Chains A and B, each alone.
Chain A
Amino acid sequence: MTSALKSIKQTASEIHAKILKRKKPSLKLPIRALNNVRYKPSEGFFEISGRKKERTLTVGTVKTFAQTLRMMALSKDLIETDDIASKREAYYISKNWQEAAFKEQPESDTVMDDIEAMLAVNREQLGFIPEEKGGEVAGRLVVIDKDRDTGKPIKIDCERFGSGAYSIPIAVEHLEFESKAKLILAIETAGMFQRLVKHNYWKKSNCILVSMGGVPTRACRRFVRRLADRLGIAVYAFVDGDPYGYCNIYRTLKVGSGNAAHLNKFFCAPQARFLGVTPQDILDYKLPTHELKDVDIKRAEDALKNDPFIKHHKEWQHALRQMLELGQRVEQQAFAKHGLNYVIETYLPEKLAHPEKFLP
């Protein structure tokens, strides 16, 4: 029996026992939010703090309570039959539960996250998989996967996708890697990734390119983490120079998110460092900019005040303040002003020559 299955049964029988004693049953859930995480520099990720909320069965909570239990029953079924359901599929399965059905998918997602946090397992172990894409990979890497039918290893050479790329699967625990690359470059936008792939940048700098496509998914974070651990190489992030790029995309890659605080231990890459684009780059490379929007300013100020990661790193506080003083944000594509391949020929080589200057 898997540990997830054991947890489900144990939780259910505790509730059952309480009911038989004519007492109100309750569920204990850790609070999944940025204000309930600790940043542990030694370990390098956000760890969930002790605060929990207790969902006692009352008239007001009876609906969610029922839905949580039905979702647990569904998970038990998936594990026992060795099947999986995507988050969307789980939402549709709930339509069989008559009045307890979810109206919109976000409702079922929340219940799923709650169960995950309550049982301290990740949703893949519960048989639930996300819909989202994991990210793309190109460059000096051979991924070793398994053939689904025969179980034989399959070698996937990420150098041989031409102008395309290898897609990170939803579950990455079973993958093995072979590579002589010196570093992993995690890129925010698909556009920049395409440019670097097209010009075979990975050859020039002997690296593995990963396209995150915005905030990296769990699978993408786990992939980068396993890759970096196995190969023992550096991870550098190249994202837009704005508060979202710093505090959401990069921060989540490096230390995890508040919402998934209960699993950050596995789903982040603490060895990541920040290549650019930094506020200082705006000045150094005379980049064209846009004015910070109100949401940008709010996000930056909020991070300075509340984000445990930013609060721990003086360099980041300095960078965010510098951005606020400039009042400007910059996109990765802004280098095109100096020529389309300026980023390949000048910016990245200059930056990579001094990794010690990267932001933590």
Chain B
Amino acid sequence: MAERIATPKETAETLAKKQREISVSEFFAKNRHLLGFDNPKKALLTAVKEAVDNSLDACEEAGILPEVEIWITSTGEDRFVISVRDNGPGIVKSQIPNIFGKLLYGSKFHTLRMARGQQGIGISAAGMYGLLTTGKSMKIISRVSPRKPAHYYEIQIDTRKNRPEIIEDNEVEWGYERGTVVEIELEARYQRGRQSVDDYLAQTAIANPHVTLKYVGPDGTEVQYARATEQMPPSPRLIKPHPYGVELGVLIRMLKETKQRSLLAFLRSDFSRVTPRVAAEICEQAGLSEKANPARIAREEADKLLAAISQTKIMSPPSDCVIPIGEELIKKGLAQVIEADFYEACTRPPAVYRGNPFRIECGVAYGRGGSEELATLLRFANRVPLLYQQSACSIHKAVVTTNWRSYGLSQSRGALPQGPVAIMVHIASVWVPFTSESKEAIAHYPEILKEMRLALQECGRKLAQHLRRRKREAEEHTKRTYIERYIPHISEALKEILKLKDGEVGKMNEVLKDILQKSRKF
């Protein structure tokens, strides 16, 4: 047996010296894969994606038709600068350092509103990743109005304290009236094809037909996706949480923070769809007084309250807070990016999972080309393309468990259908249930899967109609060419055998064509 190396025994006191708080930034710095920075190729994509998502959210909230420019320039081997500029509302000077230099800082986490970002991690994490890999600060210019100056910031994130460190802070001349530009230098790899920045931008254009995207890649290629509609999607309404979606911890926190003085009033005003009658029913079911002070509700009582909620029948949450892309615009978006000769889309009515309203949409584009290849699957959550972890996503599951063979495509068991077809699925929700923080795959809630299947089936049926019509036309065509091609040989042979005259041959050709056109049998 090998001799063990003696190590000094730790005591509670020595251990205590090592025990200290871990900052969120430090945690993510060590676990960068949780945020989508697992490898250089993905890091580039994630950084661009976070910046673009923020830009689009900001523009839409301000009611501005988004125009976003993306430049990627190579600054050395495996080093790139990404720069993303929008025409959004800009950011007031005092908030710039916090938004870009602090993890978990943002406007979206505390609300239930349909938006691309959720936690306020994205862009600051991208900056942090850049700092870690290149030592360079994040550069930001923002301007809120033509009458106000543009502010230039260089910011680094202090990972230990999760706090922005301002390197430079100036007023500068900027050629744009309004908006924000973010520049991050980072270690990355540029590749085209699947899961690339190019791919992400093309897909973003599909799901956001109201957006103009300009892109200059590291090799100098320029791509522009002009908006296909001038119409802004309606601004999603903010909603209060629905009782069915609330968890114990959240409930306790809400009880503590509420401004209401009685339990009944708390339930009525801090949740959606709770009427006085429903609130009273919940209190009674929980065995709690309607007049109880919410701040003094104990943990056990909160437990009872939660149980009472699940036993009470409450109306579904309002659904006008979830804005679909819409069938027409999905078709336009697909047509803008994917060349095909058939486009179809389907938007499902709103539905609810765990108290969160959501809507599923689906689009199909069918082109010409090889029938061997697997279908392209495009996944979107709140208009953001999802490029990674396809097979872990409930969208993938819904597509592979749909029987595409009955819609005229071939499909192996448990696989995507085959053919020159692109299938897109979009989930819009106030809270999209991702399986992880890097927001790559959607969780498998039965309600969500069901809606996805229904949407896919509807598109499938229309696709089947199209394919049948196409097949019929093709058959019609072969039939015609068949007749044209072989009939002269019959006449020719008969002429040779029976020594007919040339005039008779022509006449016979006509008669034969006539006879065969009438025959429907093939």
Contacts and interface: CB of A to CB of B under 8 A. Distances in A.
B511 A58 contact: no
B12 interface: no
A63 B482 contact: yes
Interface stretch (A9-17, A83-91, A195-203, A291-299): A9-17
B498 A12 contact: yes
A160 interface: no
A191 to B, nearest CB: 47
B489 interface: yes
B15 interface: no
Contact of A19 (B486, B493, B512): B512
A52 interface: no
B496 A73 contact: yes
Contact of B511 (A12, A22, A67): A22
Interface in A9-64: 9, 12-13, 15-16, 19-20, 22-24, 57-60, 62-63
A72 B492 CA distance: 12
A66 B493 contact: yes
Given A19-B511, A58-B519, A59-B479, A77 B486 contact: no
B496 A66 contact: no
B493 A62 contact: no
Contacts of A76: 496-497
Contacts of B34: none
A229 to B, nearest CB: 36
Given A59-B483, A59-B516, A60-B521, A16 B498 contact: yes
A170 B253 CA distance: 103
A346 B511 CA distance: 73
B511 A20 contact: yes
A79 B494 CA distance: 16
B494 A57 contact: no
Contact of B494 (A15, A24, A58): A15
Contacts of B494: 12, 15-16, 19, 69
Interface in A282-316: none
Given A66-B487, A69-B489, A77 B511 contact: no
Nearest to A101: B489
A342 B482 CA distance: 64
Contacts of B482: 59, 62-63
Interface residues of A, number: 29
B514 interface: yes
B516 A57 contact: yes
Given A58-B521, A59-B483, A99-B485, A65 B514 contact: no
A100 interface: yes
A8 B489 CA distance: 16
Contacts of B511: 19-20, 22
A182 interface: no
Nearest to B492: A70
B496 A77 contact: yes
A161 interface: no
A69 B512 contact: no
Contacts of A13: 498
B490 interface: yes
A177 interface: no
Nearest to A97: B489
Contacts of B493: 12, 66, 69-70, 72-73
Nearest to A62: B486
A45 B156 CA distance: 101
B18 to A, nearest CB: 75
Contacts of A20: 508, 511
B515 interface: yes
Interface string A330-348: 0000000000000000000
Nearest to A60: B522
A8 B497 contact: yes
B507 to A, nearest CB: 9
Contact of A66 (B479, B490, B514, B519): B490
Contacts of B519: 24, 58-59
Contacts of A99: 485-486, 489
Interface string A97-123: 101100000000000000000000000
A19 B508 contact: yes
A65 B497 contact: no
Nearest to B497: A12
Nearest to A71: B493
Nearest to B521: A58
A332 to B, nearest CB: 48
A12 B522 CA distance: 24
Interface string B497-518: 1101000000010011011100
Contact of B497 (A9, A60, A97): A9
Given A16-B498, A19-B511, A100 B521 contact: no
B515 A66 contact: no
Interface in B472-491: 479, 482-483, 485-487, 489-490
Interface in A169-200: none
B515 A22 contact: yes
Interface string B449-487: 000000000000000000000000000000100110111
Contacts of B497: 8-9, 12, 69, 72-73, 76
* Best-surrounded residue of B479, B497, B516 (most CB of chain A within 10 A): B497
A248 B441 CA distance: 65
A66 B482 CA distance: 11
A70 B511 CA distance: 19
* Best-surrounded residue of B483, B485, B494, B521 (most CB of chain A within 10 A): B494
A19 B498 CA distance: 14
* Best-surrounded residue of B479, B490, B515, B516 (most CB of chain A within 10 A): B490
A13 B497 CA distance: 9
A100 B490 CA distance: 10
B71 to A, nearest CB: 57
A8 B42 CA distance: 76
A70 B515 CA distance: 20
B498 A63 contact: no
Contacts of A57: 490, 512, 515-516
A12 to B, nearest CB: 4
Given A8-B497, A70-B492, A72-B497, A22 B508 contact: no
A100 B514 contact: no
Contacts of A19: 494, 508, 511-512, 515
B516 A100 contact: no
Interface in B161-195: none
Contacts of B515: 19, 22-24, 57
A9 B493 CA distance: 11
Contacts of B486: 62-63, 65-66, 99-100
Interface of B: 479, 482-483, 485-487, 489-490, 492-494, 496-498, 500, 508, 511-512, 514-516, 519, 521-522
24 contacts: A9-B498, A16-B508, A19-B508, A19-B512, A19-B515, A20-B508, A20-B511, A22-B514, A23-B515, A57-B490, A58-B519, A59-B483, A62-B486, A62-B490, A63-B482, A66-B487, A66-B489, A67-B489, A69-B497, A73-B492, A76-B497, A97-B489, A99-B486, A100-B486
**A-B residue pairs, 10 tightest by C-beta:** A69-B493, A66-B489, A73-B496, A12-B497, A66-B486, A73-B493, A100-B489, A62-B486, A70-B493, A59-B479
Given A66-B486, A70-B493, A100-B489, 11 more contacts: A9-B498, A16-B498, A19-B494, A19-B508, A58-B522, A59-B479, A60-B522, A67-B489, A69-B494, A72-B493, A77-B496
